[in-house]
Structure 1
């Protein structure tokens, strides 16, 4: 189960980002720094100040460091891709396009058109382009990320960001509900709604819930399926 509680320190990313948003290159370097720190901790734990056998902890630290390193390398490769240094196949093996070319297409088998490709899709597209080049396949076109993604990105945010914003919105709605008086059962400020027999319920009546949602959505600028009003969202 994912812990949705965020601390102030966790939300402060100013020390990681030079510009407005983090780049893949920054991600790769920061992860490499974390990997090195984990290996340093594993080495230091070999001789702790107090005689305690930390073999399991040391192995865990080194295992985690290896995983972080793999992610760092992948982000570094993606950084080269988005800069246009790596040729990419123009379509998936199925023939489905991606990026700008995928707008308006139907890709039912894989959850809709890949307008914004995933990490693994980009890796596969790079592998396919490299394989085609090695085999000397004629007529197999390639592209670059900047070319294929021209015009895409304005107002876009990741699924993780959208999910987090929705959780934040839902948390505010839960607080707002208790500020309102329920027309159905008469529950007042700070009170939960009650059943017909007067038992407190952990679920608000529809009218009270709807009013709380409308108030919070207006305050946050919630727009349709987007947790916030994202201009020109895809």
Structure 2
């Protein structure tokens, strides 16, 4: 093994949070994502081929076909991630602005929310970066006609490292959505650990709240819910704003 290669940790569990084996550093790189996607696609394609001749007499076509489709989809994702790797490295020129003239990256900080593209693109999405790259490619005389007609021409360009100078990305929208879902699940569990303070109810721990007619209600009384929510938020340190990635 080359001295420059640092062996990564072995996978130790099936916990989605166990990601150390996927990355050499504190955060995963686009290049690492590209290689893992490609590797997963190769594995599925090989598994599909192996499944053509199983040890047991079972026709596995209904399994083989989806495996091949998944393999092809992963290969496409790997190609996309590979292109993003080049963009982030600064190898691909990008349009200086969105089609509506709005700047992106560091230049978008402090802008008012825009309707198009979901607001100021301080942290651009994959599709936005692809579009910004395509706007520049459309100016290439050798570019396909459909690109020129779809994206028009763009002469002012910028590279990703320059556009994102000073921008720190701590958490994706997917992470915030996951944290919010985990919070809601924890609150539902905490409600049943909280005595209801409503004088018309008084549900004990483990019991659901009841209506004024004595029927069980899945929705707890507001006071009980507020208390459970406060308990969970204090325990999790929950904040709707982006948070630093653990270990980063």
TM bracket (short chain)? 0.7 to 0.9
- Paired residues in the alignment total 222
Aligned to 2:167: 152
Asked if the contact 1:221/1:229 (under 8 Å) is kept, the reply is: no
Deviation at 1:130, TM superposition (A): 2.1
Deviation at 1:134, TM superposition (A): 3.7
Partner secondary structure for residue 27 of structure 1: helix
Aligned to 1:96: 102
Which segments of structure 1 move beyond 4 Å, counting only runs of 4 or more?
135-139, 228-231
Mark the runs of 5 or more structure 1 residues left unpaired by the alignment: 1-6
Partner secondary structure for residue 15 of structure 1: helix
Q: Map residues 62-101 of structure 1 onto 2, 5 A cutoff.
A: 62-101=68-107
Aligned to 1:163: 177
Deviation at 1:55, TM superposition (A): 2.5
TM-score, length-normalised on structure 2?
A: 0.82
Mark the runs of 5 or more structure 2 residues left unpaired by the alignment: 1-12, 144-151
TM-score, length-normalised on structure 1?
A: 0.87
Asked if the contact 2:186/2:232 (under 8 Å) is kept, the reply is: yes
How much is the aligned-residue C-alpha RMSD, in angstroms? 2.3
Residues 53 and 230 of structure 1, relative CA distance in 2, 3 Å threshold: closer
Q: Which whole-Å deviations, capped at 9, do the CAs of 1:69-118 have from their partners, x for residues lacking one?
A: 00001001101111111111111222121111112224223321111111
1:188 aligns with 2:207: no
Aligned to 1:202: 218
CA distance in 1: counterparts of 2:243 and 2:54, whole angstroms: 52
CA distance in 1: counterparts of 2:54 and 2:75, whole angstroms: 25
Asked if the contact 1:87/1:144 (under 8 Å) is kept, the reply is: yes
CA distance in 2: counterparts of 1:205 and 1:230, whole angstroms: 34
Asked if the contact 1:32/1:69 (under 8 Å) is kept, the reply is: yes
